[in-house]
Amino acid sequence: MGETFSALWLGLTVAAQPGNLMFAGIGVLLGTLVGILPGISPSLTVALLLPVTFKLDPTGSLIMFAGIYFGGMYGSSTTAILLNTPGEAASIATAIEGHKMAKAGRGGPALSTAAIGSFVAGTLATLGLALLAPLLVDLAVQAGPWDYFGLMMLALVTVSATFGDSVLRGLTSLVLGLVLGLVGIDKLTGQARLAYGVPALLDGVSITTLAVGLFAMGETLHVASRFTGVQEKIEAVRGSLWMTMDDWRRSWKPWLRGIGLGFPIGALPAGGAEVPTLLSYAVERKLARAPNQFGNGAIEGVAGPEAANNAAATGTMVPLLALGLPTSATAAMMLAGFQQYGIVPGPLLFINSPDLVWGLIASFFIGNLMLLVLNLPLVGLWVRVLAIPQPYLYAAILVFAAMGTVAANPSTTELSLLVVFGVMGYLMRCWDYPVAPMIVGLILGPMAEAQFRRALQMSLGDGLVFFKHPSSAFLLGLAIVALVAPLVFKGLKKFKGDDA
Amino acid sequence: MSGETDTSSGPRPRTQAAIGAGLLLLALAIWLDAARLPPPNVVGVGPSAPMRLVAVLVVALAVAHGVAAWQRRALDTPATQRGNHASLAWVMAALLGLIAMLQLGGGFVIGSAWLFVGTARGFGEKISAKSVGIGAVLAALVYLFFTRVLSLALPAGPLERLLMG
C-alpha cells in the first residue's frame, strides 16, 4: 500500500512537469473540441487525434492521449445534453434526461452535474486503478501463456456479447476483426498471410485505419444516406450554470452509486461503459424520490450515468495497464497509441518504466481536474462549436480522417483501405452490426494467437494444455458460459412468450 | 430502451442469407491461403493453424446466418428504407476523387479541398466560391500544421511545392 502511494507520488512529479502539464491541457482541450462534434464518440476522438501525437516523446504523448480521452468523453456528454445526439451508447441515458433538462432551461445544472460527477468519478476510479493495478501485476507475473489466452478469449466473448443486442451480429463483427488480424507477415515464421501480394498489406491492417474507417467514414456515409436537409436544433444554455443546493443533494448519491457500478464492471474483462451507464440509469429510476420525473429531466438520471461512464472508462485502464488487455474500442485505440512507441503495456512495464506508467495514472487526476476547471467556464465556446453547419462539419471530419491516415502511412493503398472500411462501417450500421468488437478483435486477435502458439510450443504441441491448468480452464469455462448465457436467456424469454 | 425491439432490427432475411454466403466465400479464401503455406517445421503449430481455426469460426457464423434467415423468412418484406442515394453518391465521389488525385500526383491540398467541397455538396451545401474557399484554406492549414509543426510527410503536388517555396 505504502509502495503504491510513493509510486503515485513519483507519477505526480512526472505529470506535474510543465511540459507534461501542457500536453495534458492540450489533450483535454483538443479532446473536448473534437468530442463535442455530434456523432463523434470518444474512441473516434482518440483515433482521429492519434497522428497528432506521433512525434512527441512517449510519456508526453500518452499523457496527452489520456487528456484527449477524458476530454472526448466530456464533449460527448455536452453534445448529448444540448443536442440530444449521444455520440455513443454510453451517453444515451444522459441524452434522455439531460436534453429534457436543457429544454426546461436547466441545461446549466445538467452540464454541471455531468462535469462534477465525471470529476469525482474519475478521481475516485483513478485511485481505485492505482490500488488495484499493482495487485493485478503481482498476479500477472505468475500467469502462463495459457492463462493469457484464456483471459483473452473471455474478453473477446464478453466484448462481442455485451455490445449491441444480437449475439450473432456481435460475434460476426468480432470474427471479421480476427480475420483482419491475420493479414500480414506472421511474426514467428515471417510468412505472409492473406496479403495476396499487396506490399502495403504485409505490415498488417492498421488499427487506426480500421477505427477511423469504421467510425468516421461509416458514420458520415450513414448520415449522408439519411440526409434530409434539416439541421438539428441546439438547446441554448439558459439560466444559471450553477447547481442549487437541491441539485447537489440529489446528485451526490447517484455519483457514488455510479462509481460503484462503473469501476468494477469497467475493470472486469467485460469492457464497455454501456452496461454500467444503463444499469445506473435503471437504479436511479428505482431509487428516486419522484420516479415520475424520469423521462422529463431528472438530474439523478444525468448524475448517475455520467459518473458510471467515467468510472467505467477509468476501470478499463486496469486490465489495459496491468495485463495489456484492451476491453473496449477506446482501450484498443490507447493500446495502438502505446504500440506506436513499441511500448507493451503489462506487468513488465510497471517494473521497467514506472515513471511512464505512474506518470500516466497521475495525469488522469490532473486531466480530470483540468476538465473541471476549463470546461464549465468555456461552455459558451463549446456551444458555438456545436453550431457549425452540418455540411462543413462532415466535410471537415472526412478531411481530418483522410489526412491522419495519409500522414501515418503515405500511400493511396492505405487511403483505399480506409474507404473500403468506411463502406463496411456504413453497411454494418445499416444492418445493425456493432463495430466496436471488430476493432477489439483486430488488436486482441494477434495477441491471443501469439499466446496460443507459445502455449502449444511450451507444451510440445499438447492441445489439452489449456485445460490442464486450473486457472486457464476456469477462464475458458467462463468464456463459454458468457457465450452461451445470452442465448439461453433469449431462449427462456421466448419460452415465456414476451420476446415481442 | 434498446433490446426490446430486438426482432425488428438487423438485416432483412434475404440480406442476412446473402451475408451468410459472403462469409462462406471469406472462409474459403482463408482456407485456400492457409493451404498455400508450407507445413510448420517447429514444435507446436505453425502460422496456418490459427487461420484454419478462424476459417472454421467464419463457417459457423455463415451457417448461423443461414439458419436465422430461414427461421425469419416469413418476415421478409420488400425494402422500405428509401435512403438519400444522391447524398451518398456525392460523398463517395468525393472520397474516390481524393484517391484518384493523390494517385495522379495532384497533391494533398487540392485533393482535400475537393473532398471537402464534394462532401459538403452531399450534405446540401451548393458548390460555391465559399465552400471551395473554406475547403482550400482548411486543407492548406492542415498541410502546414502536419508538415511544419509535426514534421510528418503528406503527399505533395504542384500547389504544395509552391506553398513551401
CA B23 – CA A433 distance, rounded (Å): 14
Q: Using an 8 Å Cβ cutoff, are A119 and A255 in contact? A: no
Cell numbers at residue A261, please? 457500478
Contact B64 A168 (CB under 8 A): yes
Q: Which of A55, A226, A396 sits opposite B83 (nearest CB)?
A: A226
Q: Which of A191, A419, A459 sits opposite B47 (nearest CB)?
A: A191
Q: Which residues contact B109 (CB under 8 A, 6 or more apart)?
A: B136, B139, B140, B143, B157, B159, B160, B163
Chain-centroid distance, C-alpha A428: 19
Distances (CA, A) of B2 to A217, A225, A430, A431, B25: 24, 23, 16, 15, 33
Give B96's pLDDT tier (boundaries 50, 70, 90): very high
Contact A412 B122 (CB under 8 A): no
CB contacts under 8 A, B 41-60 vs A, are 42-47, 49-51, 54, 57-58
Contacts of A432 in chain B (CB under 8 A): 9-11
Question: Does B11 contact A at CB distance below 8 Å?
Answer: yes
Q: What is the pLDDT of residue A418?
A: 93
Which DSSP symbol is given to A236?
P
Burial A91-130 (b: 16+ CB within 10 A, else e): bbbbbbbbbbbbeeebbbbbbbbbbbbbbbbbbbbbbbbb
Question: Does A453 contact B at CB distance below 8 Å?
Answer: yes
Choose among A348, A40, A97: nearest CA to A220: A40
Closest-CA residue of chain A to B66: A168
Per-residue pLDDT tens, chain A, 500 aa: give them. 677 888 888 888 888 888 888 888 888 888 888 888 877 777 888 888 777 777 778 888 888 888 888 888 888 888 888 887 776 777 888 888 888 888 888 888 888 888 899 999 999 999 999 999 888 888 888 888 898 899 899 888 888 876 556 888 989 999 999 999 999 988 778 888 888 888 888 888 988 899 889 988 998 898 888 888 776 677 777 667 778 888 888 888 999 999 999 898 888 876 566 778 888 888 888 888 777 788 788 888 899 999 998 999 899 889 999 988 888 888 888 888 888 788 888 888 888 888 888 988 988 888 888 888 877 788 878 878 888 888 898 898 899 888 888 877 778 888 999 999 999 999 998 888 988 889 989 988 998 999 998 888 888 878 788 888 888 899 899 888 888 877 777 666 555 444 33
Kindly provide the ipTM of the predicted complex, given to two decimals: 0.89
CA A211 – CA A27 distance, rounded (Å): 19
Q: Which of B38, B43, B96 sits opposite A461 (nearest CB)?
A: B43
Distances (CA, A) of A397 to B78, B88, B116: 34, 15, 9
Question: Does A57 contact B at CB distance below 8 Å?
Answer: no
CA A39 – CA A227 distance, rounded (Å): 14
Q: How far is A122 from chain B (nearest CA, A)?
A: 26
Question: Does A99 contact B at CB distance below 8 Å?
Answer: no
> If phi over 0 gives left and psi between -120 and 50 gives alpha, with beta otherwise, what is residue A64?
alpha
Choose among A20, A25, A70: nearest CA to A46: A70
Main-chain phi, psi angles of A184, to 5 degrees: 115, -170
Interface test with A, best of B7, B88, B101 (most A CBs within 10 A): B88
CA B65 – CA B26 distance, rounded (Å): 14
Element (H, E) at A185: strand A184-185
Q: What is the pLDDT of residue A270?
A: 63
Cα–Cα–Cα angle for A311, A264, A177, nearest 5°?
Answer: 85
Interface contacts A/B by beta carbons within 8 Å:
201
Question: Does A390 contact B at CB distance below 8 Å?
Answer: yes
Contact A391 B121 (CB under 8 A): yes
Q: What is the pLDDT of residue B21?
A: 95
pLDDT in tens, B47-60: 888 999 999 999 99
Contact A178 B54 (CB under 8 A): yes
Question: Does A412 contact B at CB distance below 8 Å?
Answer: yes
Count H helices, E strands: chain A?
23, 2
Q: What is the pLDDT of residue B44?
A: 67
Give A432-471 as a DSSP string: T--SHHHHHHHHHHHHHHHHHHHHHHHTTT-TTHHHHSHH
> If phi over 0 gives left and psi between -120 and 50 gives alpha, with beta otherwise, what is residue A386?
alpha
Contact B125 A392 (CB under 8 A): yes
Question: Does B163 contact A at CB distance below 8 Å?
Answer: no
Q: How far apart are the first and last CA of chain B?
A: 58
Contact A415 B135 (CB under 8 A): no
Distances (CA, A) of A300 to A58, A107, A257, A407, B66: 39, 14, 11, 44, 45
pLDDT in tens, B18-33: 999 999 999 999 999 9
Contact A278 B65 (CB under 8 A): no
Cell numbers at residue A262, please? 462503473
Give me the amino acid identity at A383.
V
Query: What is the residue extent of each domain of chain A?
Result: 2-495
Q: What is the pLDDT of residue B78?
A: 62
Question: Does A464 contact B at CB distance below 8 Å?
Answer: no
- Residue B81 CB burial class (10 angstroms; 0-12, 13-18, ≥19): exposed
Which DSSP symbol is given to B149?
I
Judged against a pLDDT cut of 60, whether residue B67 lies above it is answered with yes
- Residues pairing with A193 in the sheet: A184
Element (H, E) at A95: helix A92-103
Contacts of A431 in chain B (CB under 8 A): 10-11, 15, 19
Q: Which residues contact A164 (CB under 8 A, 6 or more apart)?
A: A170, A173, A432, A433, A434
Element (H, E) at A184: strand A184-185
Q: What is the pLDDT of residue B25?
A: 95
CA A404 – CA A47 distance, rounded (Å): 9
Contacts of B1 in chain A (CB under 8 A): 92, 278
Choose among A251, A235, A249, A236: nearest CA to A112: A251
